[in-house]
């Protein structure tokens, strides 16, 4: 007998299929209001709600639209299909990805050196190869963007390959050492015989021509070949320190040795021997095939210690002869400034640093003392009436002597003159047609034309006219004038 408290399951009710999605039909039988008292009451299960309509077509449409938008957006940043830079395909790539692909392809491109140590190999990466991949990718996108279908599958973009010469040489040498002959560097040494720096020229070595390798790598890269085999071309390998560098350095050092020393103004007051200066200098290896120059300041200090004795001095006053206008006719004693050397601490280090740059002129710190100048004015006076010559200094008579001037038919000219030439000895009037010939006339001082003061040892007396126009003097007096009266001395001849 059925338990009235138990609800019938759907499976127990006729006309209901559990998996059927359609609404159930009403069951036959009395409604709850028609239930007979005392009979079991049945509770009916509610009808399942109708499922919602599916909108599959709408969702499919939304996905396709988003994909289309994404495709359009990507076409604005991607390179057109079929585009290649040299031999590297960069289609459907962004500029950054294209640049990376270009660099990777170049780095992996391999050069096989046939016959060089059993076909040695080097890669683009070994050679330090590079291209401007960022610029090439930018050019590829700018010229062939994916959104412009008319530019799809274009001609390859060309690329210029560069290599690092030093890295390439090192890689090639490591791969094929048998091909290489070491160069010999140029050297500099001081030669004691010539007291100068001399150069021993450098000698070229031999090795693989780096440019030929670069050209082969360029061709392989553009053609998209991952490997290319070449017969290595041999080229001269210059030494790191070349002859022209050594020549230039030696020339600078030798110019320095020409002037090396300690100076006061333009005067080299303490010259330094060339060999001594060279002993202070040590040449070494400088950067990139140059020479370093080291100077021993301790060795220079021994010279610095002796500078005061060589430099310090008292002033020397000048003495000059002038005319009556103050013009200097002769310097009897040259004036010399006095000087005193200043502080010498630090001179050795400073000169060492200076000499290392081939500047060998060291200016010393000195205090100078001026000299004074004393002037003596000199002139000569010839009184033809008295037949006497007078010597004046600073306007005062200092000496006189009798003379023998020109005869009336060959008189001595009167006027103001200056001594313009001197001859210690000469013949006078000894030429064809001359009225006289006097041999070996001493201490001649010309003051007007062919008229002169001179010695006349052939005369036995003076004080009267006896000459052909010259002022004849005792030999000792003629020499006195020769020595006492410089060129330019004023001469006044009068009656």
Place domain 376-494 in its CATH homologous superfamily.
L,D-transpeptidase catalytic domain-like (2.40.440.10)
Q: What is the pLDDT of residue 135?
A: 85
Say whether pLDDT at 267 is over 60. yes
pLDDT bin (cut points 50, 70, 90) of residue 85 is confident
Say whether pLDDT at 3 is over 50. no
Strand, helix or coil for residue 403:
coil
Same fold, 245-371 and 376-494: no
Say whether pLDDT at 50 is over 70. no
Q: What is the pLDDT of residue 63?
A: 55
Quote the mean pLDDT of the chain.
Answer: 86
Q: What is the pLDDT of residue 91?
A: 85
DSSP character for 227? Answer: E
| Domain ranges (residues) in the chain | 57-240, 245-371, 376-494
Say whether pLDDT at 87 is over 80. no
Q: What is the pLDDT of residue 69?
A: 53
Give the bridge partners for 262, in sequence order.
Answer: 270, 362
Q: What is the pLDDT of residue 425?
A: 97
DSSP character for 53? Answer: P
Q: Which residue has the higher pLDDT, 188 or 65?
A: 188
Q: Give the C-alpha separation, 356 to 477, whole Å.
A: 62
The residue-averaged pLDDT of 15-28 equals: 42
Q: Give the C-alpha separation, 414 to 427, whole Å.
A: 24
Say whether pLDDT at 2 is over 50. no
DSSP character for 231? Answer: P
The residue-averaged pLDDT of 91-120 equals: 84
Overall fold of domain 245-371: Ubiquitin-like (UB roll) (3.10.20)
Q: What is the pLDDT of residue 481?
A: 98
Transcribe 175-226 into DSSP letters: H-GGG-B--B--EEEEETTTTEEEEEPPB-EEEE-HHHHHHHHHHHHHHT-S
> Are the CB atoms for 379 and 324 separated by under 8 Å?
yes
Q: Give the C-alpha separation, 391 to 398, whole Å.
A: 6
Q: What is the pLDDT of residue 362?
A: 98
pLDDT digits (tens, 9 = 90+) for 27-36: 444 444 444 4
Strand, helix or coil for residue 249:
helix
Placement of tokens 């430099």 in the chain: 311
Q: What is the pLDDT of residue 82?
A: 80
Strand, helix or coil for residue 117:
coil
pLDDT digits (tens, 9 = 90+) for 329-339: 999 999 999 99
**Burial class of residue 262 in the structure, from the number of CB atoms within 10 Å of its CB (0-12 exposed, 13-18 middle, 19+ buried):** buried
Q: Which residue has the higher pLDDT, 17 or 465?
A: 465
Closest CA to 213 of 171, 244, 156, 266: 171
Q: Give the C-alpha separation, 271 to 278, whole Å.
A: 13
pLDDT digits (tens, 9 = 90+) for 283-324: 999 999 999 999 999 999 999 999 999 999 999 999 999 999
494: left (phi over 0), alpha (psi -120 to 50) or beta: beta
Helix axes 95-108, 133-143, angle to 10 degrees: 130
Strand (E) or helix (H) holding 230: strand 227-230
pLDDT bin (cut points 50, 70, 90) of residue 96 is confident
Q: Give the C-alpha separation, 450 to 441, whole Å.
A: 13
- A 10 A CB-CB count for 29 gives 8
Q: What is the pLDDT of residue 83?
A: 84
Strand (E) or helix (H) holding 84: strand 84-85
Q: What is the pLDDT of residue 471?
A: 98
> Are the CB atoms for 362 and 351 separated by under 8 Å?
yes
Say whether pLDDT at 155 is over 80. no
Say whether pLDDT at 419 is over 90. yes
pLDDT digits (tens, 9 = 90+) for 380-393: 999 999 999 999 99
Q: Give the C-alpha separation, 85 to 448, whole Å.
A: 100
pLDDT bin (cut points 50, 70, 90) of residue 53 is low
Q: What is the pLDDT of residue 149?
A: 76
């Amino acid at each position: 007998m059925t338990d009235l408290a138990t609800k019938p399951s759907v499976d127990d009710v006729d006309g209901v299929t559990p998996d059927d999605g359609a609404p159930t039909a009403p069951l036959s039988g009395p409604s709850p209001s028609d239930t007979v008292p005392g009979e079991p009451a049945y509770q009916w299960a509610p009808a399942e709600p109708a499922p919602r309509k599916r909108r599959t077509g709408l969702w499919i449409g939304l996905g396709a639209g988003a994909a289309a938008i994404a495709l359009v957006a990507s076409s604005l940043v991607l390179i057109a299909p079929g585009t290649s830079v040299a031999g590297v395909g960069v289609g459907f790539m962004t500029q950054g990805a294209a640049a990376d692909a270009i660099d990777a392809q170049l780095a992996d491109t391999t050069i096989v050196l046939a016959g060089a140590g059993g076909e040695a190999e080097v890669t683009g990466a070994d050679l330090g190869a590079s291209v401007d991949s960022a610029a090439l990718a930018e050019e590829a996108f700018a010229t062939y963007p994916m959104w412009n279908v008319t530019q799809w599958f274009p001609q390859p973009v060309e690329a210029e390959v560069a290599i690092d010469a030093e890295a390439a040489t090192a890689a090639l040498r490591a791969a094929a050492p048998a091909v290489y002959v070491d160069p010999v560097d140029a050297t500099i040494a001081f030669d004691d015989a010539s007291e100068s720096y001399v150069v021993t020229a450098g000698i070229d070595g031999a090795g693989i021509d780096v440019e030929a390798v670069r050209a082969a790598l360029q061709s392989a890269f553009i053609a998209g070949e991952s490997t290319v085999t070449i017969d290595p071309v041999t080229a001269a390998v210059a030494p790191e320190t070349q002859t022209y560098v050594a020549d230039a350095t030696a020339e600078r050092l030798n110019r320095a040795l020409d002037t090396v020393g300690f100076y006061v103004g333009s005067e080299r007051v303490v010259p330094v021997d060339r060999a001594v200066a060279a002993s202070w200098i040590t040449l070494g290896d400088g950067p990139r095939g140059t020479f370093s120059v080291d100077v021993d300041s301790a060795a220079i200090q021994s010279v610095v210690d002796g500078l005061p004795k060589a430099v310090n001095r008292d002033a020397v006053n000048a003495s000059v002869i002038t005319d009556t206008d103050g013009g200097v006719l002769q310097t009897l004693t040259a004036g010399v400034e006095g000087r005193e050397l200043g502080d010498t601490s630090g001179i050795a280090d400073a000169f060492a640093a200076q000499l290392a740059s081939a500047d060998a002129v060291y200016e010393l710190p000195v205090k100078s003392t001026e000299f004074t100048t004393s002037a003596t004015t000199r002139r000569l006076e010839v009184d033809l009436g008295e037949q006497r010559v007078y010597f004046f200094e600073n306007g005062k008579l200092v000496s006189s002597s009798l003379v023998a001037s020109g005869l009336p038919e060959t008189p001595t000219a009167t006027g103001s003159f200056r001594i313009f030439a001197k001859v210690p000895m000469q013949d006078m009037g000894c030429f064809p047609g001359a009225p006289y010939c006097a041999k070996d006339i001493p201490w001649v001082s010309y003051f007007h034309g062919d008229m002169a003061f001179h010695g006349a040892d052939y005369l036995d007396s003076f004080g009267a006219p006896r000459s052909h126009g010259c002022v004849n003097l005792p030999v000792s007096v003629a020499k006195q004038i020769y020595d006492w009266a410089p060129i330019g001395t004023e001469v006044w001849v009068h009656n």
